[in-house]
């Protein structure tokens, strides 16, 4: 952060935009060990009433974490606490945008409000991150 101004209350996070590819959930299943078929089997997912196979919630949460860490030049250690509400289902092959606003700044500490949206749905909302810069 030496070269960059520290964010102030009301500042926005740099917006993060990511389009998970068709097989992101399959790779996430492999990495996480969560092979729930709703994530990796579109046919099964439709049979249980979903629009198709859906993203793992923790993947979407990771995008929120990544957007927050951008404030510290991507250093994930800056993220001290993260609270989210999962409010919608993310799907592959549609862009997700994560945006946030600094709500409080005290010394090295920032509190940031964050939202992740996809196709007009807030898939994560009321997210709150604490960062130490």
User: Which of residues 11, 18, 41, 82 is near its own copies by CB under 8 A?
Assistant: 41
Q: Is 38 in the site for its own copies (CB under 8 A)?
A: no
40 binds its own copies (CB under 8 A): yes
Q: b vs e for 57-70, b when ≥16 Cβ sit within 10 Å of the residue's Cβ?
A: bebbbebbbebbbb
CA-nearest of 120, 119, 94, 88 to 21 is 94
Question: Binding residue for its own copies (CB under 8 A) from 11, 37, 62, 82?
Answer: 37
- Using the structure block, give the residue that is written with the tokens 């409010």: 87
Determine the Cα–Cα distance for residues 51 and 132; give it in Å rounded to an integer: 39
**Window 81-120: residues binding its own copies (CB under 8 A):** none
Stretch of 27-35, 64-72, 93-101, 108-116 contacting its own copies, by CB under 8 A: 27-35
Structure tokens at 36: 């729930």
* 52 vs 57 by CB, closer to its own copies: 52
Q: Which of 10, 43, 106, 107 binds its own copies (CB under 8 A)?
A: 43
Name the minimum Å distance from CB 23 to its own copies.
Answer: 5
DSSP 65-103: HHHHHGGGTT-GGGEEEEEEEE-S---TTS-EEEEEEEE
Footprint of its own copies on this chain (CB under 8 A)?
Answer: 22-23, 26-27, 29-31, 33, 35, 37, 40-43
């Amino acid at each position: 952060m030496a070269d960059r101004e520290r964010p102030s209350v009301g500042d926005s996070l740099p917006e993060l935009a990511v389009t998970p590819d068709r097989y992101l959930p399959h790779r996430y299943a492999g990495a996480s060990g969560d092979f729930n078929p709703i994530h990796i089997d579109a046919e099964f997912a439709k049979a249980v009433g979903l629009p198709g196979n859906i993203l793992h919630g923790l993947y979407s949460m990771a995008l929120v974490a990544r957007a927050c860490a951008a404030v510290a030049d991507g250093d994930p250690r800056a993220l001290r606490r993260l609270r989210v509400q999962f409010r919608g289902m993310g799907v592959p092959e549609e862009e997700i945008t994560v945006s946030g606003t600094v709500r409080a700044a005290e010394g090295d500490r920032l509190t940031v409000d964050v939202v992740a949206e996809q196709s007009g749905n807030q898939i994560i909302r009321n997210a709150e991150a604490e960062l130490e810069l």
